[in-house]
Amino acid sequence: MTTHSATSRSGTGSTAETLVPTTPPKARARDWAGLGVLALALLLIAVDATVLDLAVPAITADLEPTTPELLWIIDVYSFVLAGLLVTMGTLGDRIGRRRLLLIGAAGFAAASALAAFAVNPEMLIAARVLQGVAGATLMPATLGLIRSMFADARQRTLAISVWGAMAASGAAFGPLLGGWMLEHFWWGSVFLVNLPVMALLLVLAPILVPESKDPNPGRFDLLSAGLSMLALIPIVYAVKEFAAHGPSLNLLIAAMIGVASGVMFIRRQRGLKTPLIDLDLFRIPAFRAAVFTNLLSVFALAGMLFFGSQYLQLVLNRSPLEAGLLLIPGTIGSMLGALAAAWLVRWWRQATVLAGSLIAVAIGAGLYWLLPTDPSGSVTPFIVGFLLIGLGEGVALTVSSDMIVSTAPEARAGNAAAISETAMEMGIALGVAVLGSAVMAAFRHGLDLSTVPSDKADAARESLGGAVETARELPGSAGTALLDSAHSAFVSGIHLAATSTAVILVVTAAIAYRAATKSRTAQPAA
């Protein structure tokens, strides 16, 4: 609640100043329509992060990329996106968040057209880089604009709930849209679907979305922008490659470059009058706890999704379509959780809702202890567990994002939103890398290769898929023994990852509850 000053005169003629509470202005119909425009942009960004997965075979057949080129086609978008979020969020605070949104929309449309009609792998990689640059302008701009459009706390929470639901539904809708497009058109169509949506955004945003920016932005520090990219991109690259291929000297060097650049970046921010990231925001307990919660809630979802899809297909022998359908309840749960967050915080404190959502994710992870290793076993524990993870993640992501942008000054809304988005990207990368590595370490340790010829042992040890393929090549009982061992070892790895995740989330819930409660009680009464 805001206040304004009023004066009153006493009988002696002196003037006393009192504080009269004022109610923040309510959002108008135009603002809610503007939210719909922003939600469209976010939906498209979320869809684009997953829609390409199903197009990989068609792209491979048409453009014939090498394995490294194919990996760059898939991953370079997220690398560039993660590296530029902080820079673009701060840039939006300076030049105007709506202006940056429109620039990003035009750039994203142009890059999508370039990708759709790529004639070689190099052209497609370049287009994906440009999509990452444009996407980095759109994501923090949408959340920063919501902060300025919705001054009323309750309405802002509802608006951020819609924002979170769009992110969740986009991730779920991407593979379905991609599958339908590929059934009827060529692979480039998955990119062309972006054009009409971006055209609509370019027409409606100037009408429905008000401009907002920092009135005193100060000087933009190019060196800080470069250091932020040099910190984030190598670290995201290192953790993703570590999850896919294991440790190597090159990855260690990349990680060291990222960490060293991060240290230099932080030191530079402390010495600047107008830093790229306001490190003082992290002095606010609620802000700090919300960023950490943001990262870990996505960490759990990404990790469970990574090895969950393998479990469904390679342990329970479900087809890719069946596996995709079994994952839908969890992704829908994430969307419903995001929408429910606005209702939950009306009845309970943010601290209680945030901690409760993390406990729900922890319980969902704990249910993975019930996963069967027999292909004929029930899939119910997986569905219920992933549903709880999705519901809890949806609530946690929405409440933590709301806390991040609400505790930051409005002038730094884009900067705060960029921090929130960066935490999400890091959570996705770390979830796949850390939990995926834990599963594979337990898998390799528990795998019984006594029935496997030495020339096939390395292939069986490489992954669950490799073990399943090797088992099919072995005769009779030898193949059955390897398959049973692979299933058991992989599920043991899931138990390890699920237990670790549950413990981390319970501890985080306690920390987040304490920090959010402390921040609330520390605020002066209006």
pLDDT digits (tens, 9 = 90+) for 148-186: 788 777 777 788 777 777 776 666 666 666 667 777 778
| Nearest alpha-carbon partner for 71 in 257, 241, 243, 299 | 241
| Residues sharing a CB contact under 8 Å with residue 16, sequence separation 6 or more, in sequence order | 7, 8, 9, 10
Backbone angles phi, psi at 20, to 5 degrees: -110, 120
pLDDT of residue 179: 66
- In what helix (H) or strand (E) does residue 21 lie, and over which residues does it extend? strand 15-22
More confident position, 411 or 16: 411
Please, what is the angle between helix 222-245 and helix 249-271, to 10°? Answer: 150
pLDDT of residue 479: 79
Q: Which residue has the tokens 């949806």?
A: 394
| Residues sharing a CB contact under 8 Å with residue 61, sequence separation 6 or more, in sequence order | none
The stretch 484-506 carries a mean pLDDT of 85
Confidence tier at 18 by pLDDT (50, 70, 90): very low
**What are the angstrom distances between the C-alpha of 350 and each of 310, 408, 454, 514?**
35, 16, 57, 11
Angle at 260 between CA 129 and CA 237, to 5 degrees: 35
pLDDT digits (tens, 9 = 90+) for 132-150: 888 888 877 777 788 778 8
With a cut of 70, say whether residue 519 has pLDDT above it: no
With a cut of 80, say whether residue 188 has pLDDT above it: yes
pLDDT digits (tens, 9 = 90+) for 416-471: 777 777 777 777 767 766 777 778 778 888 888 777 787 777 777 777 777 877 88
pLDDT of residue 1: 41
Backbone angles phi, psi at 110, to 5 degrees: -65, -45
**What are the angstrom distances between the C-alpha of 470 and each of 454, 458, 475, 478?**
12, 10, 10, 10
Q: Are 358 and 389 in contact (CB under 8 A)?
A: no
* AA letter at 361: V
More confident position, 474 or 259: 259
* AA letter at 191: F
Q: Are 394 and 336 in contact (CB under 8 A)?
A: yes
Using DSSP bridges, classify how beta strands 15-22 and 2-9 pair: parallel, antiparallel or unpaired. antiparallel
| Residues sharing a CB contact under 8 Å with residue 13, sequence separation 6 or more, in sequence order | none
Give me the chain's average pLDDT, please. 77
Q: Rounded to an integer, what distance in angstroms lies between the CA atom of residue 276 and that of residue 221?
A: 7
The stretch 313-333 carries a mean pLDDT of 77
- In what helix (H) or strand (E) does residue 204 lie, and over which residues does it extend? helix 194-208
The stretch 463-481 carries a mean pLDDT of 80
**What are the angstrom distances between the C-alpha of 106 and each of 93, 202, 375?**
19, 7, 49
pLDDT of residue 411: 63
Question: Buried b vs exposed e over 426-452: b needs ≥16 C-beta within 10 Å?
Answer: bbbbbbbbbbbbbbbebbbebbebebb
Which tokens go with 384?
A: 């219920």
**What are the angstrom distances between the C-alpha of 321 and each of 158, 279, 309, 325, 491?**
34, 46, 11, 6, 22
> First vs last Cα of the chain: how many Å apart?
7
Work out the number of other CB atoms within 10 angstroms of the CB of residue 252: 12
Q: Rounded to an integer, what distance in angstroms lies between the CA atom of residue 103 and that of residue 108?
A: 9
Confidence tier at 14 by pLDDT (50, 70, 90): very low
Using DSSP, state whether 409 is helix, strand or coil: coil
Q: Rounded to an integer, what distance in angstroms lies between the CA atom of residue 322 and that of residue 357?
A: 28
Q: Are 213 and 94 in contact (CB under 8 A)?
A: yes
With a cut of 60, say whether residue 45 has pLDDT above it: yes
Which tokens go with 332?
A: 């829908």
Q: Are 106 and 198 in contact (CB under 8 A)?
A: yes
Indicate the range of 30-39, 121-130, 253-262, 281-290 predicted with least confidence.
281-290
| Nearest alpha-carbon partner for 136 in 171, 86, 172 | 86
pLDDT of residue 114: 92
| Residues sharing a CB contact under 8 Å with residue 117, sequence separation 6 or more, in sequence order | 188
DSSP 370-409: G--SSTTS-SHHHHHHHHHHHHHHHHHHHHHHHHHHHHS-
Q: Rounded to an integer, what distance in angstroms lies between the CA atom of residue 155 and that of residue 300?
A: 28
pLDDT digits (tens, 9 = 90+) for 70-96: 767 777 777 777 777 777 877 777 778
Q: Rounded to an integer, what distance in angstroms lies between the CA atom of residue 508 and that of residue 283?
A: 18
- Burial class of 381 by CB neighbour count within 10 A (0 to 12, 13 to 18, 19+): middle
- What residues are paired with 498 via a beta bridge? none
Confidence tier at 524 by pLDDT (50, 70, 90): very low
pLDDT of residue 415: 66
Q: Rounded to an integer, what distance in angstroms lies between the CA atom of residue 85 and that of residue 11?
A: 58
More confident position, 289 or 493: 493
- What residues are paired with 6 via a beta bridge? 18
pLDDT of residue 4: 44
Q: Rounded to an integer, what distance in angstroms lies between the CA atom of residue 363 and that of residue 361?
A: 5
pLDDT of residue 523: 43
Q: Rounded to an integer, what distance in angstroms lies between the CA atom of residue 190 and that of residue 55?
A: 8
Q: What proportion of the chain, given as a percentage, has pLDDT over 70?
A: 82
Q: What is the pTM of this model?
A: 0.69
pLDDT digits (tens, 9 = 90+) for 216-260: 666 777 787 788 888 877 877 777 677 666 678 888 888 899 889
Q: Rounded to an integer, what distance in angstroms lies between the CA atom of residue 156 and that of residue 145?
A: 11
Q: What proportion of the chain, given as a percentage, has pLDDT over 90?
A: 2
Cα 471 to chain centroid, rounded: 36
The stretch 468-481 carries a mean pLDDT of 81
Confidence tier at 484 by pLDDT (50, 70, 90): confident
The stretch 281-299 carries a mean pLDDT of 78
